[in-house]
Chain A
């Protein structure tokens, strides 16, 4: 079955540590996205990528980094510079960027990160 997988589902980290969240898709989608979700704030875009080896900052990129070395993988690193990293992180993909049928986004199950 095609889809998006995120691992782990729950992640705990000590303050000052970097941590990497995994996102893999087998939908052959070109575009991939990372969102952060906090209660009452909806989804906020962290980074997105349209093609391999290229990515753009979203609205809240500070304290995060990404890579896109393979089409199917888009890992997110939460660095120690991120002031409030505790949140629910969602990865998504779409056939291409933009709206309409090609821009419809498919989401993974999410990773809940807690900083201790």
Chain B
């Protein structure tokens, strides 16, 4: 069975500083990996995804994530955060055989002025 672990429930970071949100997964087969973002009182929006190919994937708003198969990780990074990045971020995993996507418990990103 698959599982997703987001190691930090909350991450405070100063504006314009870099940030890394950690995600580890477990699966016995090849996986697809996703990061979703949820702004307050809204639904989730897909931020980026890894399906195959290049292990480094990027979003349009400066986030990137790297698939590391040996460490079973898919950490999300941004070199310089803005106040508008304040949100909750969810890592998710699925495999081609399964009929569900498994979500982590989320990491709340707090941007400090």
Contacts and interface: CB of A to CB of B under 8 A. Distances in A.
Given A40-B105, A48-B100, A104 B43 contact: no
Interface residues of A, number: 28
Contacts of B32: 99-100, 103
Interface string A71-111: 00000000000000000001010000111110111111110
Please report whether the interface of chain B is mostly helix, strand, loop or mixed according to DSSP. loop
Interface of B: 9, 31-32, 34, 36, 41-46, 49, 51, 90, 93-101, 103-106
A97 B46 contact: no
Contacts, number: 67
A43 B42 contact: no
Contacts of A104: 34, 46, 49
Nearest to B10: A40
Contacts of B90: 42-43
Contact of B103 (A42, A48, A99): A42
A112 B41 contact: yes
6 contacts: A4-B43, A43-B103, A90-B44, A99-B32, A103-B94, A107-B45
Nearest to A91: B43
A40 B41 CA distance: 15
Contacts of B99: 48, 50, 56, 97-98
Contacts of A6: 43
A107 B94 contact: no
Interface of A: 4, 6, 35, 40-43, 45, 48, 50, 56, 58, 90, 92, 97-101, 103-110, 112
Contacts of B51: 100-101
B101 A41 contact: no
Contacts of B44: 43, 90, 92, 105, 107
A97 B105 CA distance: 21
Q: Which one of B93, B98, B99 has the greatest number of beta carbons of chain A within 10 Å? A: B99
